Structure 1
């Protein structure tokens, strides 16, 4: 349940800015503005740019007064806010992406809070949640190599799941034939790869939705995963097939390290031998490793012996799951993502021009 669900009665917001004026004044007075909400002048002093200030997330607490209409942004302002965050802030090159992520994560959480308090659903809720889901899935891939001190994947996954579930529930109750439903129903299946609840949801979809090409591919991947056919999972998830939907393969990548580990376990039993060595080059192609060197590193992390002839000895007794799974970017996915403007990935072309023309 969202924290904002604690508010029982919905009200209509009247704030016409990305941040209520009184919050801007308070944070400016208390020196609580984020570096992304202003600039430094020629003397090195921070100067607030009010058009860049975005409402912070505020956790509800016992005894805290309910928000006033002037504290809440209506749907059209929330859309402008999300387009600004994903079309302008996310693409900035003067800050590290982990810093951008922290800022955007908090501000999108405040957007969702305003949505819940005002009971914003329907087509407005769908449009907002679609963009927020894209951000979280992209961030899950982009930041997967960062240490826990910088990025917590469990928290990002939790918010991704919450947004996806709320989104697909809106698809169910709002009039059908949504423009991006194929993409997000597929992302839901891929994010929850092999999960029974996700598969049951797929079976409950109308036939014309289930038959959509991307959703059919996600379904086949999910079935292959349940049947422990890792080769088929990875073949169907091949990045080159997902150029139109780059986030599809980002959602698939979330499970890659686990798939590789489980497959090495199966191979250690199936090819159990003290003399027969399996070529690392072939293993690399099979399990989406970058090259033989990365395959060798992974095998050794799982307790397997790598020979001087660039091959691995699969031995059941030697295999062990590593204490920690290390995630790595995949060059084919990186290539696809780098070929598309980030604002277009996150906004799918919608609101990009408005975000670029809006705030300077």
Structure 2
């Protein structure tokens, strides 16, 4: 009978030696994986080619294919090395990116996204579960949740929203299964809340949240996320945005995908509710109610939907539902109040990785895992 036990990884580098040598020979190294002094070695035609830095080279994602071996122990990394890899990708690679340079941002995003897929693949092949696997996925999800906000200005060719969303959903599904196994997971409440915010209004997600252990369900993170979902289902947009203003930076990034649509629905509700030829709705109040950064953005939203905005010392909006135009929600943009100010002085890498000291402890001692 065939042995059904999963393989156990023994690779102690972020990239297996065999892969590193193959990619070096084939010229498939990423710029983040090269020797600092750009040393080269001669290729098959006598041309120089870049040399890989073993401390920077990271295993790339490999699609499963017929006849392709993915379970060789020498090519698989144990949990401690996977945790170290996640920490390196976030704290070293992401911390160096210039977010104003779209080319640099695109290269960094594609590199980190691909290498995190390989990390999750190693977890799956080895069937790793428990505390160590949860730490790895929690760090990966930190990046996956923040990335859509950070790459919002990238062209479609550099950011595949469908593929990215699939990775988020699959990572969350695996992480939740680890939590179900029982054990001590210090960040379980935080990530249960992030799932609720990411899947805003999803009844299956809400139903599962209501069945969580009492101490997790009653945590501030989960209670706030459930309240936001409740406000969304009740179309209580004023309450929803009041609650959203209490989210931290990572939570705001998880909610970010729903922000434009929520604002659109909120404004349409206000237009129908306060429609009057003699009434005026203060523009400043509207700006605060739907959590916009300034009144100019509120004016643009109103004008786009056929609503007139009066100028003067106290600008106001003339809501008329008869003039309401059927338009699509605005494309997501930069959010100062809901995201940037919440980040404060922390780097994006620190926001993504969260309690990085926990992952450092795991990386120090692979034997414990």
Aligned to 1:14: 10
CA RMSD of aligned residues (A): 2.5
Q: Which runs of 5+ in 1 are unaligned?
A: 1-7
2:156 pairs with 1:160: no
> For residues 311 and 107 of structure 2, what CA distance do their matches in structure 1 show?
43
Structure 1, residues 213-272: CA drift from partner, whole Å, max 9, x if none? Answer: 12111111111111000111111111xx34xx4211222232111111001111221122
2:20 pairs with 1:24: yes
> For residues 352 and 211 of structure 1, what CA distance do their matches in structure 2 show?
23
2:303 pairs with 1:300: yes
2:330 pairs with 1:334: no
Aligned to 2:264: 261
Aligned to 2:252: 249
Q: CA deviation at 1:168?
A: 1.5
Is this contact kept in 1: 2:228–2:244, CA < 8 A? Answer: yes
| Equivalenced residues, count | 345
Q: CA deviation at 1:211?
A: 1.0
* Structure 1 pair 353–267 and aligned structure 2 pair: CA distance change class (3 A): closer
Aligned to 1:3: none
Aligned to 1:234: 241
Aligned to 1:56: 60
Aligned to 1:82: 86
2:133 pairs with 1:125: yes
Q: CA deviation at 1:107?
A: 0.1
> For residues 358 and 175 of structure 2, what CA distance do their matches in structure 1 show?
21
TM-score, reference length from structure 2 = 0.86
Q: Which of 338, 342, 349 is residue 343 of structure 1 equivalent to?
A: 349
> For residues 106 and 53 of structure 2, what CA distance do their matches in structure 1 show?
22
Q: CA deviation at 1:352?
A: 8.7
> For residues 140 and 70 of structure 2, what CA distance do their matches in structure 1 show?
25
Is this contact kept in 1: 2:271–2:320, CA < 8 A? Answer: yes
Is this contact kept in 2: 1:145–1:329, CA < 8 A? Answer: no
Q: CA deviation at 1:136?
A: 0.8
Is this contact kept in 1: 2:70–2:125, CA < 8 A? Answer: no
Aligned to 2:118: 110
2:228 pairs with 1:225: no
Is this contact kept in 2: 1:344–1:352, CA < 8 A? Answer: no
Is this contact kept in 2: 1:145–1:326, CA < 8 A? Answer: no
Structure 1, residues 189-224: CA drift from partner, whole Å, max 9, x if none? Answer: 111112111110111111121111121111111111
Q: CA deviation at 1:164?
A: 1.4
2:99 pairs with 1:92: no
Superposed, 1:284-299 pairs within 5 Å as 284-299=287-302
Aligned to 2:75: 71
Aligned to 1:189: 196
Q: Which runs of 5+ in 2 are unaligned?
A: 41-48, 365-369
Q: CA deviation at 1:134?
A: 0.9
Q: Which of 247, 261, 279 is residue 276 of structure 1 equivalent to?
A: 279
